[in-house]
A and B are shown apart, each in its own frame.
Chain A
Amino acid sequence: MAARTEHSVAASFKDAAIAAVIALALFGPLVGLRTEVTTGGLFLSQRWGDVAVAVAVVFVGRLLLNLFVFKTDRPATGWFSGMKLSAGALARIGPVFGPLMLGLALTLPFILLFGAPSQSRYYIDLGILVLTYVMLGWGLNIVVGMAGLLDLGYVAFYAVGAYSYALLALNFGWSFWLCLPLAGVLAGLWGITLGFPVLRLRGDYLAIVTLAFGEIIRIVLLNWYEFTGGPNGLNNIPRPSFFGLEFDRSPEGFAATFGLEFAAIHRIIFLYYLILALALLTAFVTVRVRRLPVGRAWEALREDEIACRSLGINTTTTKLTAFAMGAMFGGFAGSFFATRQGFISPESFTFIESAVILAIVVLGGLGSQIGVVIAAIVLIGGFEIFRDFAEYRMLVFGLAMVLIMVWRPRGLISTRKPTIALGKAKAIGGELVGEGRG
């Protein structure tokens, strides 16, 4: 045993030295030599100190990895396998975690108002942002997580909802509460419109067509200048009112009616509760629909489409309802976005938005409601926390994604809860649950 350890130490040093040589070969020209533009032309500056640091980091890092992970009997990564076991624990805390998060979400603005008054506006704004993505994640979860249809163009429905509200409100002067359902219906119709041509497609092909659809919507919004304002976007979108009471200084305003002193924060808090209510509506409907035949058919479709057809399920309408319902919630979120910003332009609906929403769903665990919440907090909140690091933000973001996918390849919460049970419902392990192939 001792011999093996000695041997492994020697081998570790050798391996680390080789890694250091490779690092030297790579970093030497890349880091060590640098051309700089000066008044006299190009100059070659040398930075051998930096190279030494890089090589040393590689040597030490490789050595540590060798000693504690690669060439040892008890790899330190055993710690990670211990964490794998905690997956069950994660599922167990689920029932407590949900209500706890809900309670926190309901009281957050007041906690912030009294806890950190100077920064409360920033944090409530951040809360609104996170909740918007939670809602979008829940909406996309219907399509991707439940029905197993990979949709890379979800932002299109977000855009349809936002523009629907903005255009209806600006052209007809309709109120937010009238436009909100209309925006949802319009987005749902677009969901069906997208659904029809892609019904026959599966997997990668479906993903590409939905991606294209997202781009088409954005480009139409960008170029249809007379209607959408093109790249200038739409300005002065009306703010929502509290049952007809505007958030302003007028005697009929919200503050005056309730005998409060006017403060801009009132509207922010109102928007926060508005998006919270919309998100909760999404969650409520999704959880309920899952237990209905249509929701079960979505999940069955994800598991095995051919078996569905043999059981009398019309896969066409089933897929279309999933698309329509996901799109509808995207539309709700979109009209909220428009009323909150007061200004929208095609800039806000680029592919990266779709990618972030999809990342939230995948990271949270396909089909998991709580998982989406955690992922949205981690991703969107994390983005904000790392704002100071500017260009390293994406790097950290990517690294975190890779680590989580290595640690939990099926998302944070991969277990599936049965929709109905004779006895006690037991969570089903993620490895048994189908991911859907289109």
Chain B
Amino acid sequence: MTRWTKDPVLTVEHLTMRFGGLVAVNDLTFQAGRGDITALIGPNGAGKTTVFNCITGFYKPTEGRLTARHADGKTYLLERMPDHAISGEAKVARTFQNIRLFGGMTLLENLMVAQHGPLMRASLFGIGGLFGIGSYLKAERAAIDKARYWLDRVGLLERADDPAADLPYGAQRRLEIARAMCTGPELLCLDEPAAGLNPRESAELNELLLYIRREQATSLLLIEHDMSVVMEISDHVVVLDYGVKISDGEPEAVRNDPKVIAAYLGVDDEEVEAVEHEVEEVEREVAR
């Protein structure tokens, strides 16, 4: 029994997602362990982002069950929840492959929007806030402190009052992670966080992710393209190819899995011959 099956923060069972005739994800089952950095990898078009969209409620899965389990033992069936409740109640936050910040709002405002749920309750759904009740002002101060903490953490505190769209690319990625962390997630899903980063920014990102795992009660699930990044920081790797899981395990085991090597590097020459032979046989049979 592996670590992640003992105390999973997320359990994906028999997840299938079809778009018309296209099967993007086929009968996928895996667990993400609490306190782990779990990586979901695979070649282009393997269905990684589709899995993410199912987990975070942007797609309704065709089949399967998605269960989030909090540290206190509460479970949430994600496939039955609307997207805003997945973030607000089940505490599963996400970032996007193409960064989605509120460009015309300041960094601080971005992080304040992320704390919408608790602030909304503190302001009695706007009515108490309108009259400036004390409990709301207190909650707002706490929210500012939290935002300040995360801005400091991602090294953007001096730019707190600048519009988010003015930030360079790498800083936007970090801000998006900080914004997701401001929702207080149990599980943070990162969609290709290292895409488009230079080596230095990439190293900073790894440090940030390791920090989140170490210091926060947040587990991480990340999609990555780049094997080297994955192998460096993740504790558990799940490999997808054409919507099917082809490998699942410790990074070292996955790295040496022939199926993974085949999916990433293509198959060996002898195997190609064997495959061609098979295809010919099938064709002959069909002709007959």
Q: Give the size category of A's interface with B.
A: 35 or more
Which of A299, A313, A321 is the most central at the interface, judged by chain B CB atoms within 10 Å of its CB? Answer: A313
Which of A310, A321, A434 is the most central at the interface, judged by chain B CB atoms within 10 Å of its CB? Answer: A310
Q: Which residue of A lies closest to B94 (CB)?
A: A310
Distance, CA A313 to CA B182, complexed state (A): 13
Q: Which residue of B lies closest to A307 (CB)?
A: B100
Distance, CA A307 to CA B144, complexed state (A): 20
CB distance A432 to B87 under 8 Å?
no
Instruction: Say yes or no: is B264 at the interface (Cβ < 8 Å to chain A).
Output: no
Q: Which residue of A lies closest to B93 (CB)?
A: A310
Distance, CA A424 to CA B161, complexed state (A): 8
Which one of B31-39, B105-113, B252-260 is at the interface? B105-113
| Contact A296 to B148, CB < 8 A, known contacts A303-B105, A310-B83 | no
CB distance A421 to B106 under 8 Å?
yes
CB distance A420 to B94 under 8 Å?
no
Which one of A32-40, A287-295, A376-384 is at the interface? A287-295
Distance, CA A311 to CA B100, complexed state (A): 11
Which residue of A294, A303, A418, A421 contacts B126 across the interface (Cβ within 8 Å)?
A294
Q: A residues within 8 A CB of B119?
A: 293
For window 414-437 of chain A, which residues contact chain B by CB distance below 8 Å?
416, 418-426, 428-429, 432-434
Q: A residues within 8 A CB of B196?
A: none
B164-178, CB under 8 A of A: which get 1 and which 0? 011000000000000
Q: How far is the CB of B187 from chain A (nearest CB, A)?
A: 13
Which residue of A307, A425, A432 contacts B104 across the interface (Cβ within 8 Å)?
A432
Q: A residues within 8 A CB of B103?
A: 303-304, 432-434
CB distance B113 to A428 under 8 Å?
no
A297-341, CB under 8 A of B: which get 1 and which 0? 101100110111111111100000100000000000000000000
CB distance A422 to B161 under 8 Å?
yes
Instruction: Say yes or no: is A285 at the interface (Cβ < 8 Å to chain B).
Output: yes
Which residue of B58, B104, B115, B126 contacts A289 across the interface (Cβ within 8 Å)?
B126
Q: How far is the CB of A88 from chain B (nearest CB, A)?
A: 15
A192-228, CB under 8 A of B: which get 1 and which 0? 0000000000000000000000000000000000000
Q: How far is the CB of A22 from chain B (nearest CB, A)?
A: 44
| Contact A310 to B87, CB < 8 A, known contacts A292-B123, A422-B144, A422-B148 | yes
CB distance A434 to B104 under 8 Å?
yes
Q: B residues within 8 A CB of A429?
A: 163
Instruction: Say yes or no: is B78 at the interface (Cβ < 8 Å to chain A).
Output: no
CB distance B106 to A306 under 8 Å?
no
| Contact A306 to B100, CB < 8 A, known contacts A293-B129, A294-B125 | yes
A-B contact pairs, 11 of them (CB 8 A): A303-B104, A304-B101, A307-B100, A308-B84, A308-B113, A309-B84, A311-B87, A313-B116, A425-B161, A429-B163, A432-B166
Give 8 nearest A-B pairs by CB, closest first.
A433-B104, A312-B88, A312-B87, A303-B102, A307-B100, A293-B119, A292-B129, A294-B126
